[in-house]
Amino acid sequence: MNKTDALTFLRAQQPLPDDDQLTQDLIDAYDAARRLFLAAPDHAALPLFLRSFGKGDGWGVYPLVEDVFHACDRSDTVAAIREALEDPTLPGGSRYWVTQLAAAFADPTLRAGLALSLRSERPDTREAAEMALEMLDQHAAR
């Protein structure tokens, strides 16, 4: 898989199917894209990853995607997270994982989007938003 293939694949998976609908081939291709952008970071992949999460944990691959964001420029990462968080149409699975990422990249510009996550129907997303806001408050206190 090269960069063009990976971006094309991610564009087609907005979002991936929920865990109970995933196939091994699909999650293997997703993981290959993740590994490619971990080795060769590209900010163009960030919004695609943020909208790729289906419900569940992607058979254990979704938590690993955070490393792709750490490999990229922090300002690009925060901007992509902010844009996704502030999108009221962001699917539930994606909102959960993007909210989780917000805790790892605490930045005051994420507050408005985290407020949307606090109003989620999903308790796990609300809990992740509370945690992200706590991280943000701790970061601000330093």
pLDDT at 140 > cutoff 80:
no
Domain ranges of the chain: 3-141
Closest to 139 measured CA to CA, from 85, 103, 114, 98:
103
Give residue 99's pLDDT band: very low, low, confident or very high (50, 70, 90).
very high
pLDDT digits (tens, 9 = 90+) for 20-35: 999 999 999 999 999 9
CB 89 within 8 A of CB 57: no
pLDDT digits (tens, 9 = 90+) for 40-83: 999 999 999 999 999 999 999 999 999 999 999 999 999 999 99
Supply the pLDDT for residue 142. Answer: 73
What are the structure tokens assigned to 24, written together? Answer: 């091994």
User: Is-contact 93 54, C-beta < 8 A?
Assistant: yes
Between CA 37 and CA 8 the distance in angstroms is 13
> In this structure, what is the dihedral angle of CA atoms 61, 36, 7, 44, given to the nearest 10 degrees?
100
